């Protein structure tokens, strides 16, 4: 049996790609822990440049405050990389987004519309009830192992 050069190269390329594919499939999702008042909740994060930039800043001590009728916000110490910008149409309460206009985090607890100025970072685990606590509070944001 003879193996052509083309088949040998294809097999080698597949062998190199398989471990990377397996690592990607087995990769644990990044999670973010948030605490304010007596609330403790987590977000399952997406994998994009904006999320990775946010994670590089952690842990953070911020202030969370009410904004409008459907969200809370927290101002970051600096703007984030906007490389995670991607259109989406499945907006949902519980989404965590980066608002490009002001450079802040937006914690949505009610319906909202994507307008091109938001970068989705992740989604809350366990429901939006913690975000319904009204007022301005110190907020601790840290990675969750």
Please report which confidence band the pLDDT of residue 27 belongs to, taking 50, 70 and 90 as the band edges: low
CATH class of segment(s) 31-144:
mainly beta
Structure tokens, 109: 């607890």
| Predicted pLDDT of residue 28 | 66
What's the longest Cα–Cα distance across the chain?
Answer: 75
Helix (H) or strand (E) holding 26: helix 5-26
Closest alpha carbon to 104 in 59, 56, 67? 67
Structure tokens, 12: 């080698």
Please report which confidence band the pLDDT of residue 145 belongs to, taking 50, 70 and 90 as the band edges: confident
Is residue 26's pLDDT more than 90?
Answer: no
Contact 19, 98 (CB under 8 A): no
Contact 87, 120 (CB under 8 A): no
Please report which confidence band the pLDDT of residue 23 belongs to, taking 50, 70 and 90 as the band edges: very low
Distances (CA, A) of 7 to 13, 77, 79, 126: 10, 53, 49, 49
């Amino acid at each position: 049996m003879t193996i052509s050069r083309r088949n040998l190269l294809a097999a080698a390329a597949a062998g190199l790609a398989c471990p990377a594919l397996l690592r990607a499939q087995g990769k644990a999702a990044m999670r973010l822990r948030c605490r304010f008042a007596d609330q403790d909740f987590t977000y399952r994060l997406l994998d994009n440049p904006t999320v990775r930039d946010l994670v590089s800043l952690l842990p953070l001590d911020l202030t969370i405050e009410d904004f409008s009728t459907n969200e809370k916000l927290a101002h970051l110490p600096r703007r984030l990389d906007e490389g995670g910008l991607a259109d989406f149409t499945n907006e949902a309460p519980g989404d965590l987004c980066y608002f490009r206009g002001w450079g802040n985090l937006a914690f949505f607890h009610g319906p909202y519309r994507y307008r091109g100025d938001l970068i989705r970072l992740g989604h809350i685990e366990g429901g939006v009830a913690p975000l319904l606590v009204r007022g301005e509070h110190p907020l601790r944001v840290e990675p969750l192992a």
